[in-house]
Structure 1
Amino acid sequence: MVGVYYRPPNQDIEVDETFYQQLEKLSQSLPLVLVGDFNFPDICWRYNTAEREQSRRFLERVEDNFITQLVSEPTRESTLLDLLLVNREGLVGDVKVQGCLGQSDHEIIEFSILAEARQGASRTATLDFQKADFGLLRSMVASVPWETVLKAKGAQEGWSYFKEELSKAQEKAIPRSHKTSRQGRRRVWLNRELWLDLREKRKVYNLWKRGFVTSIYKAFVDAIIFN
């Protein structure tokens, strides 16, 4: 299971406890990858120590459930707020902290999930126009006394009647075919244009991090705003 979590800085202890209960249930039953802004700036992950009681409680529950935290560098200015938690060794790899999204002041955490994902198959029904009987369709549509029927109806009622009659004719004249498809590796929303924009934003950001140059910084800001 992959999850995203946000914990407000002033979250009540009771809410924390509810989260810990759910964390325990999930970590005992499923491979778990949990990423998010937990807002525990006082935790030192190198030595697993903390100043505040709520932070120490969080560390205890993480250790009790054999969960590992994999981010090792700051994610907001000089503090490490955004965490990557896993309950099994070898579940993720290639963890990187770099760049930011939009106008956020938090760094992006990038990582690879090493386990194979299950691809769900979807079965959809579509109209098979190659096998349609258009003669029957025209005949059924022509047999309806449209002018007489629609004359006494308003726009909305007339549209509903037209759609219903057309659907009836369609069901009789156009057969359906069922197709099974599997989701590919690239998400539908991630088209080539967006992918190129994201790559350009990352390249400009890396140049800016190596040395502050005004023109590069402006290009990075433009990439954030317009992409």
Structure 2
Amino acid sequence: MGDFNHGHIQWTSLQSTGREDQEFLNLVQDSFLSQHVLEATRGENVLDIVLSSQNEFVDNVKICEPLGCSDHNQIHFIIKVKGERNRKIRYRKIFHKGRYKDMREYLAKIDWNNTLKNKTATECWNILKSEIDCVVDKFVPLKKQGKRSKKKHLSKEAIRKIKYKQMMWKTYRHTGSEEDYSIYKEALNQATAEIRNSKRSYEQKIAFNIKHDSKSFYAYVRCKQKVLDKVGPLEGSDGNIITEGFLRQKT
């Protein structure tokens, strides 16, 4: 899939008027590839195409509205592949619902003096870590992870205008009239402006509340990072690669 910029190819009749376009068409045919986009993706031209080695691999191709300020339409399609689905259920701990009083009582009953007696620092750490993991598993409830929630920076008004913009695009694609296209462009501009205002308001809100809710602020900053900070494996003094978290910290 991509923008191949060969707008003079008629994919329904497999004909072309330009030399470079004809060479590309010959290449596609000689490679026994199928081209699945038959509607215009920019203006009246088919510039963005989807190629596959077997025609039945791609299904339900839809030409949708442009994304943002792009002048190319989106292409939605389904790739048919066979494979086993491994739907692993994921859980996360709900720490704000933890029974911390019970945790303290549980840990207070442990005879730490005898438990840690004559132990090295590493052994003490492993024992402490094991007990903390135990009480967390025992007293902090789990919740099944669901689908991602909607973007928090989008207000209800922004979502409403996005849906209206999408509806106007479908209307224009159905009628093809200049009037409906003008209505769509106006809806696009309004939706873009509302998204920008909604995002600015949300960022100002979490910035002003950073003293009372720093978690939301830093979570938003992290989600905007293109590269997540992560400590990679280190080489120990013996030349071996260290991947375990505690040993890396110690190194």
Q: TM-score, normalised by structure 1?
A: 0.52
Supply the distance in 1 between the matched residues of 2:191 and 2:68 (Cα, whole angstroms): 9
Q: CA deviation at 1:68?
A: 0.5
- Aligned partner of 2:179 in structure 1 is 212
Q: CA deviation at 1:224?
A: 4.0
The answer as to 2:89 corresponding to 1:89 is: no
Shift >4 Å, 4+ stretches: 114-118, 123-130, 164-169, 193-198, 213-216
Supply the distance in 2 between the matched residues of 1:75 and 1:190 (Cα, whole angstroms): 28
Q: CA deviation at 1:117?
A: 6.5
- Aligned partner of 1:170 in structure 2 is 132
Give the number of the structure with larger relative contact order, counting CA–CA contacts within 8 Å between residues 6 or more apart: 1
Q: SS of 1:39's equivalent?
A: coil
Q: TM-score, normalised by structure 2?
A: 0.48
Q: SS of 1:212's equivalent?
A: helix
- Cα distance 1:39–1:204, how it changes in 2: closer, same or farther (>3 A)? same
Q: CA deviation at 1:43?
A: 3.1
Q: SS of 2:60's equivalent?
A: strand
For the aligned residue pairs, the C-alpha RMSD in angstroms reads 4.5
Supply the distance in 1 between the matched residues of 2:79 and 2:165 (Cα, whole angstroms): 23
Q: SS of 1:72's equivalent?
A: coil
Question: Which one of the candidate residues 24, 27, 45 is aligned to 1:58?
Answer: 24
The answer as to 2:168 corresponding to 1:200 is: no
Q: CA deviation at 1:106?
A: 0.8
Question: Which one of the candidate residues 186, 191, 194 is aligned to 1:223?
Answer: 191
Tell me, yes or no, if the aligned pair for 1:97 and 1:108 is still in contact at 8 Å.
yes
Q: CA deviation at 1:97?
A: 2.2
Which deviations, in whole Å up to 9, do the C-alpha atoms of 1:27-81 show, x marking residues without a partner? xxxxxxxx2212223433232436234x444334422332100112221123211
Supply the distance in 2 between the matched residues of 1:64 and 1:111 (Cα, whole angstroms): 24
Supply the distance in 1 between the matched residues of 2:27 and 2:184 (Cα, whole angstroms): 44
Tell me, yes or no, if the aligned pair for 1:101 and 1:224 is still in contact at 8 Å.
no
Which deviations, in whole Å up to 9, do the C-alpha atoms of 1:148-188 show, x marking residues without a partner? xxxxxxxxxxxxxxxx99855422433389x9x8x98xx63
Higher-strand-fraction structure: 1
Tell me, yes or no, if the aligned pair for 1:201 and 1:224 is still in contact at 8 Å.
no
**Would you say how many aligned residue pairs link Structure 1 and Structure 2?**
167
The answer as to 2:21 corresponding to 1:69 is: no
Tell me, which stretches of 5 or more residues in structure 1 are unaligned? 1-34, 145-163
Percent pairwise identity: 24
Tell me, which stretches of 5 or more residues in structure 2 are unaligned? 114-125, 196-251
